[in-house]
Structure 1
């Protein structure tokens, strides 16, 4: 039943040789890896207006120069990540760049920040998409959390079906969104140029604003820079592209940058000229669409495509998170389960864990985008700063041809990214303080996992010297609960291991019962030694483990191996297990932690 449901949801398993068919073209790569960055224009300009709104609508003209600053940062980031793609064609992005040039800890900070950021990508995107839906249908406002969780589950299942399949589905909403916003921006600018938009809706450029400070402008710039989240995703996912992967990834990155610049500047311009003010109930894009087209088909088309891309922008996280996890797992900083491919050749463990973590975040923050975005943006700009700084070190150290221009580009990107990150830390500290707690903890956990793998490797490595331990034979201990077919089956197996070194152990709670059992045993198995242990406190485990420890100590002195053979019957139906005491399972679990003791379970399958 479970297997059938899995096949319906995920599809048939793919052969390892079909991996090449799961690679992305530039068109699909743009859809699946740029959806996060492109979708952020739906809330990035709004974040600028929210900060400026504290000074009144007269301050909205500052959104234009602030947007120009954001575009300068975008240009620096696109040029820088294009260089990263060619310098590190196997992917990994900020983690690999930082680790290679700034040291392991810098790499782990970047990698840990990005892992958290991709979880936030899913939570923020889905929450923002839900906001777009509830803006159009206010009656749904009370169900934001439930709607968001349903969408996360849907996208998780979609990604478990494979990269190509998810990209095929996502391409349509992404390009529909771009098309819809081009129509919105084109129509809005046409109305502005033809004088259809009253000039009194907005303050004139250069209008004095009471209380304006450099701090507020930097704060608005930092908030608007949240529209640049997701820019790094392509550099993390280079292996997902068809060959030549670096070249295709670089072209896709440039296309994304151009589209993002046009859409972001267009929305900021329309918001200024139409005098749009941020509202808790209605998004800025929704207000612009209503102002340009009215509440007609085009309005709902724009809202629908915006909601779709905001929700499906979460797919950027699903594409980049598993690949970043693979790089960390290869370096033994996170569990190796992230290296395993699923039935559809995707890294399904990373996909499932990402989905579960995102749902948890949505529940904790109640799908409120405003509370998630600052933490989300910081999680991006810390790796941005580290990766830019890492590339600066690389160029200065290697000095390839034309390195000075590359160094300048990365220096500009590193400086602006650092300013943005610091502004978030200063102005949004109540919302971003968790990063000061979680990132050090994550880095510490990374190191502990690496230390564990190194310790295991040292202990499992076959050494050239001869072992001082040799096994002369087996001492087999068989815990018995009665005279049954299950016990008989286990004794037959034990005789095959060591016919002359078998000890059956029976734990009794009553002296009379103990005598009766000994008499029955002598008649049933006279050739096998029986040891009876009396338990005053009605515990089977304690006296049995003490006895095994005693035998193990004596056996090791004579170079004998102690093997415990546990009889266990397996019910025909799974739910029947709750009707039995599972003592065999408890014994096996406890003995697993005993050194130099081998545990063997002899199952006996019941037929009814």
Structure 2
């Protein structure tokens, strides 16, 4: 703050007062404001609403009509971003038209919708969790199969313990408490990154495993497709990629249908199977002879336990999405989590019981669930329904990762642990870069392991239970620090869940190390290394940009704006006079001659005909920002500084810093309620252009330039993005003031 005051005093020595700069403005910078969050109301079946344009009508014409809530902009000429035209048409065909100036309005879900949408990952895991446990136990022959029920009972207890633990997390973090947030808040930066690494690994493998299990359900019903399983899986990932890049989510009821269909199919299968077993007094069908290939020992039992515990994946999803519930959010989230755990335990225990009673053993080319359906239904319509519902819910479970992975990555980018481009939403209001990264990573993993669920499961448990363990450990620290009402009970629940999760993590890491768990451990280590290096780079850049009192570039003479008055009849003249400042002998063209209202022809041929306004979009008062301000002021043309804040608190902070600096130039603040910066800025510049189409607007951007080009990808390319967005508008120039680091 002291340095900022000192820099302000240096500016005061060489700059005219703010009143002088403000009187020189040829426009009215106050064009209204963006809507408040309370005014953002989505359509009944959408999550997108239009944002009203800035400013008054131009030359008596009404503002452009906006599309209805949830709709896309009308078809028009391709944006410069989409050139050449062939690429533009392909994007429009695959992804739909880019959305007009829009704001996201979160869709609040009631419990009956939230349950299937957020539980798809967890509930679908019963399609492969029991079989993964059985695949390990059968290695010990009939003796190993005998441990199915005891191990399943232990996993059920673990499900209950983890579920109760996450109920405490929801109470402590009513605004959403994923493993990354909880671990970072309570254990520190490195444990938070390790938890994030576990989550990211989990989400990538969720896509790969869910697609593999879904394809297995299809090929079990249609064995002729088994040779094409890899191709089918890659095509499914591509379809999920395209669907998620479209960005718009319809009502949750659409996504609820596959989960409810799967639950109904499993409940019906369990009921029919148990009724059949009851007719024979619950006597198990004798197992087919199973030759032992390994001895029955503690390591084999632990491996089976770790494999079966993958049926718990996705339990964390509800604690991440607490704000998506209808009020009272945390109470509804806890109730939904309780329902999910109850259904998960019922389905898991029921499937394991049927496997035990029907004597099902793993078989190449057909899943255990398919064998159960064949055993109880034959090959009739119920068998087809069961397999179709299983495949559908597994694909939906993969889609859950497409929602969560980009959001965790955006949180990492917000905290400078990932490239900032992952914090940016695409044209369709989705974290497009994160979605693409997830698709590529999951596709590579799927192909590398030949799309086989049994090969992918050993990688799965490590990431899942690493995140579980750190999240629960963070909650223990949270309750110990807080010590509010019932803190002891909550601490015991979280400590129990954390201990059991750590047991599974260690078990999976040791027993499955050579089977592929080492890949997950290496991935976590590599992730930690990369994210810490990225944070170190951003810290280095921040240090280079930090204000230094005697490092600010200022002119040696007093600077003040020189203004040439507009031609007679031009609206928006600062003083309402005609054209006393127009040089003799020069004809200044009248904007009334424009072909269309609000548009100006680019007919200036000599310098005297050009009337300037410099716009300086600035994010923070660092050295790069100060250099851009100094450059703009040195041109001695009217200057307007624009700051886009993503929240009221950020706006107040910037305003305080601006006052400390001295308020030497006119400032216009825009508060964006939907955490976007480029769209409101373009909207505002376009509104100024329509207010005074005779002006040449020069947008001067501070730009950090890396001397080492390998770091360039870590920094946003605001100038090129603004150039592409503003290129269709006439008489707007975008330039940058580089600051080399």
- The alignment's TM-score, normalised by the length of structure 2, stands at 0.61
- The Cα shift of 1:291 comes to 0.7
Q: Deviations over 1:29-60 (max 9, x none)?
A: 33332111111101100112112112223542
Partner Cα distance (2:307, 2:204) in 1: 20
SS at match of 1:345: coil
Superposed CA RMSD: 3.4
Structural mapping, 1:137-156, within 5 Å: 137-156=222-241
Partner of 1:347: 431
Structure having the larger proportion of residues in helix: 1
Change (3 A) 1:329 1:244: farther
- The Cα shift of 1:284 comes to 0.6
1:432 is aligned to 2:521? no
- The Cα shift of 1:593 comes to 5.4
- The Cα shift of 1:183 comes to 0.6
SS at match of 2:105: helix
Q: Deviations over 1:475-528 (max 9, x none)?
A: xxxxxxxxxxxxxxxxx999x9xxxxxxxxxxxxxxxxxxxxxxxxxxxxxxxx
Partner of 1:360: 444
Q: Deviations over 1:395-440 (max 9, x none)?
A: 2222222122212211221121111111111111121112332222
**Please, which of 431, 442, 456 is the counterpart of residue 541 of structure 2?**
456
- The Cα shift of 1:295 comes to 1.5
- The alignment's TM-score, normalised by the length of structure 1, stands at 0.73
Partner of 2:142: 57
- The Cα shift of 1:302 comes to 0.5
Partner of 1:484: none
Partner of 1:262: 346
Partner of 1:392: 476
Partner Cα distance (2:248, 2:105) in 1: 11
Quick check: 1:155–1:312 contact (8 Å CA) kept in 2? no
Quick check: 1:388–1:414 contact (8 Å CA) kept in 2? yes
- The Cα shift of 1:256 comes to 1.6
How many aligned positions are there? 485
1:82 is aligned to 2:181? no
Q: Which runs of 5+ in 2 are unaligned?
A: 1-84, 289-293, 558-604, 610-704, 710-718, 724-741
SS at match of 2:364: coil
Quick check: 2:285–2:357 contact (8 Å CA) kept in 1? no
1:223 is aligned to 2:307? yes
- The Cα shift of 1:468 comes to 5.6
Partner Cα distance (1:467, 1:164) in 2: 48
**Please, which of 114, 126, 131 is the counterpart of residue 216 of structure 2?**
131
1:181 is aligned to 2:266? yes
Quick check: 2:186–2:474 contact (8 Å CA) kept in 1? yes
Partner of 1:276: 360
SS at match of 1:343: coil
Q: Deviations over 1:565-589 (max 9, x none)?
A: xxxxxxxxxxxxxxxxxxxxxxxxx
Partner of 2:637: none
Quick check: 1:51–1:216 contact (8 Å CA) kept in 2? yes
Partner of 2:372: 288
Q: Which runs of 5+ in 1 are unaligned?
A: 204-209, 473-491, 497-590, 602-608
Partner Cα distance (1:337, 1:166) in 2: 28
| Larger CA deviation: 376-385 vs 353-362 | 353-362
Change (3 A) 1:336 1:306: same
Quick check: 1:44–1:224 contact (8 Å CA) kept in 2? yes
Change (3 A) 1:452 1:412: same
1:378 is aligned to 2:462? yes
1:411 is aligned to 2:472? no
| Larger CA deviation: 61-70 vs 224-233 | 61-70
- The Cα shift of 1:17 comes to 5.8
| Larger CA deviation: 189-198 vs 264-273 | 189-198
1:69 is aligned to 2:154? yes
Partner Cα distance (2:554, 2:486) in 1: 62
